[in-house]
Amino acid sequence: MGELRVIDGGGEVAVTTRLSDLLQWARKWSLFQYPFVTACCGMEFMATAAPRYDIARFGAEAPRFSPRQSDVLWVVGTISQRQGPAVRRIWEQMADPKWVIAFGTCASCGGFYDNYTTIPGVDKVIPVDVYIPGCPPRPEAVLDALMLLQEKIQANDRKPIVVPPKLVPERAPGRTGKGNS
Amino acid sequence: MSQAVVDRLNTQFGERVLGTSDAFGDHEVVIGLEGWVELAQFMKDDADLQMDHFIDLTAVDYPERESARFDLVLMTRSSVTGARMRVRTYVKDGEEPGTLSGVWAGANWAEREVWDMFGIKFKEHPDLRRILLYEEFVGHPLRKDYPIDKAQPLVPYREVGDIEKLPPFGIEEGQPFARIDWESRLAGGDNQVSPAIGVQQGQRRTLSDSEAAEQIQARIAARMAQEATEEGSGD
């Protein structure tokens, strides 16, 4: 949370903060999700949502089956041109404040689908807050994205962001002999 | 096993069989368009053949061929004898072969897909609509003359001008193989992104993928050799 001030009244303690900070704090710990799962990334999404990774730690475990009750739209997988109107309409139905996570390379930029039938990134249709690269991304990257989104919500930052990789392939040991010194 | 099917079709249809082949053990019969449905019906009903399993129907586009633009290819199998058979016919652009949906019900959707992708209409098809693409789509994308970069969005793309959120990466990132103007990049030019991206002028890449791949592999090999010599001298 933002700035906290503790007032000790001798036996009774009060904590004050800004109302906006309190609201954002409440929002970031109760992100109801709407999974829009279209492709193979869904398997990794299921792994993330399963008990092992315990997404409930972030208060984001509850899937809503109506966009009107959800806060985060997870776009998981390739979005075809034919699905464009559907995903746009789902996003329009969500109540503010709402966030969108592009899960995987296809949802972020179309992946290797450069053809007549694929939307090159769901951000061509709806605004995206967090991009998760990977084909598919590992659950750890998904949890990174969730924590990034929480930070952005707390800071009231609407600038889109990409989950940074843990390991840059070009700098991996033994790859080129450069960059890891 | 399948050779027996070819022989049977040869005796039954005689001169109307335009050719047969058995490349890699896959037997094939070429039939004129007028015998297309008749041959399919015969293959299914004949007591010896019993081709009761419709596997797939597809087409091949040869835009430069003057006699007939499309090959229509049917794949069938018999669940009784286990024999497989491929039947091919030639279809001119605009010509309408008869539907096989009366022979095998499964041909219904396959013919819709061929119509969707290649624009071949089937006579007397009960429900010839697009099956994969949307009704608003103009053209047939698996025809070779369909522009390789042409998309037809149902929802207009968000314009960069009034976009409230921009993706924090360039358009060439994430699709490193498809969206790069290879010619320009290999020549050291500034134009790194295919000119067809964004403006969608229907331009084709002039450098084929295999050519680009060869050049890139050569460059990587050269760089690795250079780095190896640098490391060796550094030590």
CA distance B235 to B223: 18
Look at residue B207 and tell me whether its pLDDT is greater than 80: no
Instruction: Output the domain CATH number for residue A80.
Output: 3.40.50.12280
Q: Is residue B179 part of a domain?
A: yes
* Residue A147 in tokens: 């924590």
Regarding whether B152 and B108 lie in a shared domain, the answer is no
Q: Verify whether the Cβ–Cβ distance B154 to A85 is below 8 Å.
A: yes
Regarding whether A43 and A6 lie in a shared domain, the answer is no
Look at residue B105 and tell me whether its pLDDT is greater than 80: yes
**Better-predicted residue by pLDDT, B116 or A4:** B116
Q: Is residue A174 part of a domain?
A: no
CA distance A129 to B167: 9
Q: Is residue B38 part of a domain?
A: yes
Nearest-CA distance B148 → chain A (Å): 7
CA distance B71 to B88: 7
Nearest-CA distance A155 → chain B (Å): 17
Q: Verify whether the Cβ–Cβ distance B167 to A109 is below 8 Å.
A: yes
Q: Is A129 in CB contact (< 8 Å) with chain B?
A: yes
Instruction: Output the domain CATH number for residue B114.
Output: 3.30.460.80
Digit-coded pLDDT (tens) for B18-48: 988 888 888 999 999 999 999 999 999 988 8
Q: Is A134 in CB contact (< 8 Å) with chain B?
A: no
* Confidence at residue A158, expressed as pLDDT on a 0 to 100 scale: 79
* Confidence at residue A74, expressed as pLDDT on a 0 to 100 scale: 94
What DSSP line would sit under A69-127, residue for residue? G-SEEEEES--BGGGHHHHHHHHHHSPSS-EEEEEHHHHHH-TT--STTB-S-GGGTS-
Q: Verify whether the Cβ–Cβ distance A124 to B178 is below 8 Å.
A: no
Regarding whether B73 and B10 lie in a shared domain, the answer is yes
Q: Is residue A107 part of a domain?
A: yes
When scoring A75, A79, A87, A116 by the number of chain B Cβ atoms within 10 A, the one with the most, hence best to mutate, is A116
Digit-coded pLDDT (tens) for A39-78: 899 999 999 988 999 999 998 888 888 999 999 999 999 9
Domain that holds residue B67: 2-118
* Confidence at residue B217, expressed as pLDDT on a 0 to 100 scale: 65
Q: Is residue B59 part of a domain?
A: yes
Regarding whether B177 and B99 lie in a shared domain, the answer is no
Regarding whether B151 and B107 lie in a shared domain, the answer is no
**Structural domains counted in chain A:** 2
Report the helix count and the strand count for chain B, using DSSP H and E. Answer: 5, 5
Regarding whether A141 and A54 lie in a shared domain, the answer is yes
CA distance B139 to A19: 56
Look at residue B119 and tell me whether its pLDDT is greater than 60: yes
When scoring A78, A87, A124 by the number of chain B Cβ atoms within 10 A, the one with the most, hence best to mutate, is A124
List strand residue ranges (DSSP E) for B78-170, in order.
Answer: 84-91
Regarding whether B46 and B154 lie in a shared domain, the answer is no
Query: Cβ atoms within 10 A of the Cβ of B229, count?
Result: 10
Chain B residues with CB under 8 Å of A159 CB are 165, 168
**Structural domains counted in chain B:** 2
pLDDT band at B162 (very low <50, low <70, confident <90, very high): very low
Task: Flag whether the ipTM exceeds 0.90.
Answer: no
